Amino acid sequence: MNAAATPKLLPCPFCGAAPKAEEFNDEEVHTFFVSCVNQDCPACSVLASGDTPEDAAELWNTRNGGAA
């Protein structure tokens, strides 16, 4: 996913780290996802994915992480 097409992403609600947005595309699947880059985050393996960058960003930005 290129930076110009990436909607604004909020920090990880669990640890406060900046997320990364990526695009996955192969013969069968084309999706966009957002994940936390902090390897020590308890939710770093949780992805928000969608059919568009906007869908993935909306799912990421509305996650409820509790206290960071």
- State how far the alpha carbon of 34 is from the alpha carbons of 4, 41, 66, in Å: 15, 14, 19
pLDDT at position 3 over 60: no
pLDDT: which is higher, 2 or 58: 58
Helix, strand and coil percent figures for the chain, each rounded to 5: 20, 25, 55
pLDDT at 59: 92
Q: CA 68 to CA 65: how far, in whole Å?
A: 7
pLDDT at 6: 62
The 8-class DSSP code of residue 17 comes to P
Name the amino acid, one letter, at 37.
V
Residue 32: its H or E element: strand 30-36
Q: pTM for the complete prediction?
A: 0.77
pLDDT at position 68 over 50: no
